[in-house]
Amino acid sequence: MDEKSSVSSISIARLLEIDAEQNHSMGLEVLSGKEYLDKKYITSEEINRPGLPLAGFFDRFANQRIQILGRGEMAYIEKLLRENNKKNIVRFFEYDIPVCIVTHNFDIPSYLIEQSEKSGIPFLRTNLSTKRFIAIVSTILSELFAPSVTIHGNFISIYNVGVLITGKSGIGKSESVLGLVERGHKFVCDDIVRIKKIRTGKGVELKGEPFHNYGPYIEIRGIGIINVAQYYGEGKILKSEKLDLIVDLHEWDSSYSYDRLGIEEKYENILGIEVPRKEIPVSPGRNIPLLIEVAAYREVMRKLGYNSAIELNEKIQELMKKEKEVV
């Protein structure tokens, strides 16, 4: 496992592509600097509203971030232009800025366009409000810049429980996934999974997604490569799912003590987050897709606070107590 950020930089052109691919509706139009879109790169997931630089304070100006000009900034720029005080604007455009984005579909003073063209900074406009636009662009960027690892395994969503299936080559991971898809669950990816650490409103969570964008292909030994979407329908495919459980398939080893009760939980640390992990021994006659499905149900129950083993144990202890009192 090799931890790194998913990407270290992203071009403005790619940002626009992602917006279109994933339907984020950022509502962007390019006003100037079209030819620089694939030459300018964003290197930080943070954004900046350049109020202070425009007012003349350039110390610690975060010029490497996306610069967003909202209602306040635009009003100030208009004031500067009315007073013919262009010093700060000129200086602003002298910095190496990846992109300037104006919100609220404001009319842009032609002077700004001229300056941005002169300095080779793409100038974009959105019809969204500043707050809405920042929310969308932050989500996209924090996903792109999220720390991630790639893991050899398969990823499937069982009733919204994201399950990572690991195990040695040839143990039957892909076959199990096919069995699970057939049971109505959703395929995310085969063989190699990218796990990302994403910040959400509720905290940090892990998300699994395909390592590549070629499509939902799966390799089954003896059959060959299969396009899951073609064979089982688009409805059986998911782009990504949060990671809730790791199922590790083992060749049955009679000297290894497998969990037989399910009272103690085992975890595996991925990107600093503890993920529940179940080891399932594989041997003839064991229906692995069924077992993985049950492990996922169990994870749902565990989160709701139910544990069958603890429940039964409590009943037995209650009974032993009673018998003792009788004696």
Nearest distance in Å: CB 181, another protein: 32
Query: Residue 244 forms beta bridges with which residues?
Result: none
Q: Find the helix or strand (DSSP H, E) in which 81 lies.
A: helix 71-82
Instruction: Determine whether 183 is an active site residue.
Output: no
Residue 326 near another protein by CB under 8 A: no
Residue 299 CB neighbour total at 10 angstroms: 20
C-beta of residue 86 within 8 angstroms of C-beta of residue 76: no
Nearest Cα residue to 152 out of 189, 180, 178, 187:
189
Nearest distance in Å: CB 267, another protein: 19
Q: Which stretch binds another protein (CB under 8 A): 69-77, 214-222, 223-231, 312-320?
A: 312-320
Q: How many residues bind another protein (CB under 8 A)?
A: 16
Per the structure block, which two tokens stand in for 5? 């950020």
Residue 304 near another protein by CB under 8 A: no
Instruction: Determine whether 260 is an active site residue.
Output: yes
Nearest Cα residue to 241 out of 156, 145, 150:
156
Residue 290 near another protein by CB under 8 A: no
Residue 308 near another protein by CB under 8 A: no
Instruction: Determine whether 185 is an active site residue.
Output: no
Residue 313 near another protein by CB under 8 A: yes
Instruction: Determine whether 104 is an active site residue.
Output: no
| Marked catalytic residue, from 260, 321, 322, 324 | 260
Q: Would you give the distance in Å from CA 132 to the centre of its chain?
A: 20
Nearest distance in Å: CB 255, another protein: 8
Contact code string over 259-278 relative to another protein, x by CB under 8 A: -xx-x---------------
| Marked catalytic residue, from 152, 239, 303, 315 | 152
* Angle, alpha carbons 168-171-176 (nearest 5°): 120
Residue 309 near another protein by CB under 8 A: yes
Q: Which stretch binds another protein (CB under 8 A): 124-132, 136-144, 288-296, 310-318?
A: 310-318
44-70 as b/e: b if 16+ CB within 10 A: ebebbbbeebbeeebeebbbbbbbbbb
How far is 65 from 7, CA to CA, in rounded Å?
15
* Angle, alpha carbons 258-167-223 (nearest 5°): 130
In the bound state with another protein, the residue whose beta carbon lies nearer, of 182 and 259, is: 259
Under rule CB under 8 A, which residues in 201-260 are in contact with another protein?
257, 260
Q: Helices 288-304 and 173-182 sit at what angle, rounded to 10 degrees?
A: 70
Nearest distance in Å: CB 295, another protein: 18
The residues binding another protein (CB under 8 A) are 257, 260-261, 263, 309-310, 312-313, 316-317, 319-321, 323-324, 327
Which residues are identified as catalytic? 152, 173, 191, 260
